[in-house]
Amino acid sequence: MKPFLPVLIALASGSLVAAGQTTAPSETEDVPLKGEEVAILTDPPNVPPPITRKHPTRVTVELEVTEVVKRMADGVDYTFWTFGGSVPGKFIRVRQNDEVDFTLKNHPSSKMPHNIDLHAVTGPGGGAKATFTAPGHKTNFSFKAVNPGLYIYHCATAPVGMHIANGMYGLILVEPKEGLPPVDKEFYVVQGDFYTTGKYGEPGLQGFDMEKALEENPDYVVFNGAVGSMTGENALQASIGETVRLFVGNGGPNLVSSFHVIGEIFDRVYTEGGSRYQENVQTTLVPAGGATICEFKLETSGDFILVDHSIFRAFNKGALGILDATGEPDLVVFSGQKKDEVYLPEGGVVQAIPSDSRPAAAAATKEERIAAGKIVYGANCAACHMPNGTGVPAAFPPLAKSDYLNEDVDRAIDVVLHGLQGEVTVNGDKFNSIMPKLGLSDEAVSNVLTYVYSEWGNSGEEVTPAQVAKVRAARK
Amino acid sequence: MKHAVLVLACVAGFARGEEAVGTSPVPPEMARVEGGEYLPMFGDRDQPRQVDPFLLDRLPVTNAEYLRFVRDHPKWRRSRVSRLLAAENYLAHWTGDLEPGPGAPADAPVVNVSWFAARAFLKARGKRLPTEDEWEFAARADADRADATRDPAFLARILAWYGKPNPPVLPAVSNAETDLRGVAGMHGLVWEWVRDFNNQTVTGAARNDASLDRSLFCAGGALSATDAANYAAFMRYAFRSSLEGNFTVTNLGFRGARDLETNINP
């Protein structure tokens, strides 16, 4: 209906030029519909394969609604209402001008009637009233995917807020008829806010809290339905040099997402899931009931962290995921920390670096001690003494084949514990600098020194935490 | 247990003087609900609805009671019932025509019954389904109050049940919470059929009835509702409007109602 109106107005005013500008004919022309197929549906974070056919077809989509108890966080369960058993629901991928034959099945064990409003549908209710389905029933309707784009779908049964708050949303991608540019990896990420009777982290099966939902004060803001859905072994996997496309949705029900990937700049963002892209974007808004497509090339390796940059949600409510890019890092793109020098606004005294409060697992063998010490060395020592212990002439003394180091173990421990200031002679060279007090635990000091002694032609001494404790006590 | 509850409930009923003079005695399995005005979830908020006094079953109908019914009325047995009157999953959780089996304990509410079946059952007992207004009016009560719907805790309790999955086997009706009239299990047990389940928001088979759009989908639901924060009521109306007369659902049962018979002795 909509496209005709400007044409009519243009004709009435006698301006054919205006009509030509209003609609570009090439955008609406397409080859005839041909054949039929069953849509491949995927659970998050997976995305069905790109559509390669060059013509529209008749696509069958079947979604099953189930009400299931699943993990929200460690020790915390929730009764999710789902499109296909997961939150978000199944990813649906069709092509522009496809005719979609859609069946919604409501499992007999459901307590509620459900339906689906696909934002990709042109028509009243987006399919909601056509799919209003009692438990143990299934309904069917069809629609033509007129507009390309990335769209949210959700349950729209009253009270709609509660159905969405329980996880009833997902994404449907309508690929433009010319297709999307090829990329190496595609992922499916949807943010949602959850309102539980217990506070964040309170264990057990949590119920829906209507008051908190009305106040828009969620306990959980998560990606893909659970805290940790994309961290640890569930992290998204890609490799350096690959181009990644994220299909990002926001189910809401209430919050707008400030979607950001720490350490990446989106090369292209198809704002709001539409047809045009913005380039070089740091953070993009994903409205509740909206979506966006983010693309970026992984120019270096490492962990890239997906967050809602309304950052308390990431830090305290769960809105955090990890994209693990494997490969050798490109040190030109990103060097990592090159130096950590003591900044001395007050002049030269030994500074204390705040202690690391994380308890380290005790090393059981010398090998374990060396392995742990290597990490401590990399984090605390290598910047000055260099990764291979050579130091920097006239600035930082060497640790490799170091007479100062090897002739007195207790002195070495003392230096690591308390820092060092003033002139020292190492292997015949004079150094007059300041080493900060590192604030390491006894375990960490013993590990790092055992590592240093085991490397670069040093004595091979094993330093135990007990020795460190003794030196620490002697100074008090 | 069930017996004790009933006796106590009767005593409570008498104590509150709900037995009006001039009416026939209330059968022991029913409670008298004094009528009154109430504001239904959907409708004109300036026009409270009048509910006349009526009798309501204290408990929903159980599998044992329904078994007696299908014994006496073979055409309502699972293998014989007309598909027009009950869909394929009618009594699907029973083992056989006359064997409820382990999935349907004798004292649990009967479910997977159609609206037509519920009506036939009740007609055979001289009863009828409560109207939506009657059911909603009675369901406002908790153990102490005839209308607890202004209490967020009351609504939250109901909502908590709606949010929980169905248990594989339903509990006994006698375990359900009893209200001040001695009516038990209005909330927290099963959904219940009402006589005009499709009357308020949907008319007949018209799924594309315009009022349905307004009432039940998306934010439209809030426009015509008298209390947009009463999610529990929303869900009941939404549930009912998803049904048709021959539908059967795994957690949908029913209970009987009856008009007050005025005691007119010639």
Paired tokens of B44: 């004109």
Pick from B218, B239, B251: CB nearest A128: B218
- Report, as an integer, the average pLDDT of A95-106: 97
- pLDDT tops 50 at residue B11: no
B 199-238 residues inside an 8 A Cβ radius of A:
207-208, 212-213, 215-219, 221, 229, 231, 234-235, 237-238
Question: Which tens digits make up the pLDDT trace of A179-218?
Answer: 999 999 999 999 999 999 999 988 899 999 989 999 999 9
pLDDT at position A152 is 98
What does the alpha-carbon distance between residue A156 and residue A160 come to, in Å, rounded to a whole number? 5
> Cβ of B163 and A208 within 8 Å?
yes
Question: Which tens digits make up the pLDDT trace of B148-160?
Answer: 988 888 988 888 8
Lowest-confidence pick of A153-157, A276-280, A333-337, B262-266: B262-266
pLDDT-derived band of residue A375, with 50, 70 and 90 as boundaries? confident
pLDDT at position A121 is 96
In B, minimum Cα distance to A115 occurs at B217
CA distance A156 to chain B (A): 5
Q: Determine, yes or no, domain membership for B3.
A: no
Q: Determine, yes or no, domain membership for B10.
A: no
Q: Determine, yes or no, domain membership for B5.
A: no
In B, minimum Cα distance to A215 occurs at B229
Higher pLDDT, A16 or A460: A460
Paired tokens of A187: 């992922």
Paired tokens of B42: 């959907």
- Report, as an integer, the average pLDDT of A129-146: 94
pLDDT at position B20 is 45
> Cβ of B219 and A210 within 8 Å?
no
pLDDT-derived band of residue B123, with 50, 70 and 90 as boundaries? very high
CB-based contact (8 Å) between A111 and chain B? Answer: yes
pLDDT at position B9 is 38
Which string of DSSP letters, residue by residue, matches A39-104? PP-B-TT--PPPP--SS--EEEEEEEEEEEEEEEETTEEEEEEEESSSSS--BEEEETTPEEEEEE
Q: Determine, yes or no, domain membership for B11.
A: no
Q: Determine, yes or no, domain membership for B55.
A: yes
Paired tokens of B107: 């004292």
In A, minimum Cα distance to B168 occurs at A109
In B, minimum Cα distance to A207 occurs at B160
Residue A150 parent element (H or E)? strand A149-154
Higher pLDDT, A361 or B122: B122
In A, minimum Cα distance to B231 occurs at A159
Average pLDDT over all residues of chain B: 81
What does the alpha-carbon distance between residue B112 and residue B193 come to, in Å, rounded to a whole number? 11
CA dist B4 → A368, B1, B105, B141 (Å): 70, 5, 20, 21
CB-based contact (8 Å) between B247 and chain A? Answer: yes
Question: Which tens digits make up the pLDDT trace of A338-355?
Answer: 877 666 665 555 555 555
- Report, as an integer, the average pLDDT of A138-143: 96
Higher pLDDT, A417 or A342: A417
Whole-angstrom distance between the N-terminal and C-terminal Cα of chain A? Answer: 85
Work out how many domains chain B is built from and give that number. Answer: 1
Higher pLDDT, B207 or A252: A252
Please, what's the b/e burial string for B169-199 (b: 16 or more CB within 10 A of its CB; e: otherwise)?
Answer: ebbbbbbbebbbbbbbbbbbbbbbbbbebbe
Residues of chain B with Cβ-Cβ distance to A111 below 8 Å are: 162, 164-166, 251
* Helix B231-241 / helix B152-162 crossing angle, nearest 10 deg: 40
CB-based contact (8 Å) between B243 and chain A? Answer: yes
Question: Which tens digits make up the pLDDT trace of A51-68?
Answer: 999 999 999 999 999 999
Long-range CB contacts for residues A120-128, cutoff 8 Å, separation at least 24: A120/A94, A120/A145, A120/A147, A120/A149, A120/A151, A120/A153, A120/A172, A120/A174, A122/A146, A122/A147, A124/B213, A125/A156, A125/B213, A125/B217, A125/B218, A126/A153, A126/A156, A127/A102, A128/A156, A128/A157, A128/B217, A128/B218
pLDDT at position A380 is 80
pLDDT at position A362 is 80
Of B33, B169, B198, B38, nearest to B109 by C-alpha is B169
CB-based contact (8 Å) between A109 and chain B? Answer: yes
Q: Which amino acid is at A161?
A: G
pLDDT-derived band of residue B235, with 50, 70 and 90 as boundaries? confident
Question: Which tens digits make up the pLDDT trace of A312-325?
Answer: 999 889 999 999 99
pLDDT-derived band of residue A122, with 50, 70 and 90 as boundaries? very high
For chains A and B, count residue pairs whose Cβ atoms are closer than 8 Å. Answer: 107
What does the alpha-carbon distance between residue A18 and residue B178 come to, in Å, rounded to a whole number? 71
Q: Is the ipTM of this complex over 0.95?
A: no
Q: Determine, yes or no, domain membership for B17.
A: no
> Cβ of B207 and A129 within 8 Å?
yes
Segments forming the whole domain that contains residue B122: 34-259
CA dist A442 → A77, A314, A446, A448 (Å): 40, 33, 6, 10
Average pLDDT over all residues of chain A: 88
The dihedral through the CA atoms of B201, B206, B212, B217 has a sign that is: positive
Q: Determine, yes or no, domain membership for B12.
A: no
What does the alpha-carbon distance between residue A67 and residue A158 come to, in Å, rounded to a whole number? 16
CA distance B14 to chain A (A): 36
> Cβ of A158 and B217 within 8 Å?
yes
pLDDT at position B49 is 86
Paired tokens of A415: 């230096």
Pick from A113, A156, A166: CB nearest B218: A156
Q: Determine, yes or no, domain membership for B27.
A: no
Of B136, B128, B131, B104, nearest to B38 by C-alpha is B136
- pLDDT tops 50 at residue A282: yes
* Helix A442-454 / helix A366-380 crossing angle, nearest 10 deg: 100
Task: Please report, for the domain that includes residue B54, its CATH number.
Answer: 3.90.1580
> Cβ of A158 and B221 within 8 Å?
yes
pLDDT at position B258 is 96
> Are A118 and A153 within 8 A, CB to CB?
yes
Pick from B163, B234, B247: CB nearest A137: B247
